[in-house]
Amino acid sequence: MDSKPGSTIEKEEIFGPVVVINTFKTENEAIERANDSEFGLSASVFTQDINRAMRVVKKLQAGTVQINCTIKIDPQVPFGGIKMSGLGRENGKYGIRHYTEPKTIFIKYPPTFKIKVLIPSNGF
Quick one: CATH architecture of 8-99? 3-Layer(aba) Sandwich (3.40)
For 77, other C-beta atoms within 10 Å of its C-beta total 15
Q: What is the pLDDT of residues 48-102, one digit of tens each?
A: 999 999 999 999 999 999 999 887 778 888 888 889 988 778 887 777 777 777 7
pLDDT at residue 1, rounded to an integer: 62
- Could you tell me the sign of the dihedral formed by the alpha carbons of 8, 12, 15, 21, in that order? positive
Determine which helix (DSSP H) or strand (DSSP E) holds 11, and give its type and residue range. Answer: helix 8-11
Task: Note if the pTM is more than 0.75.
Answer: no
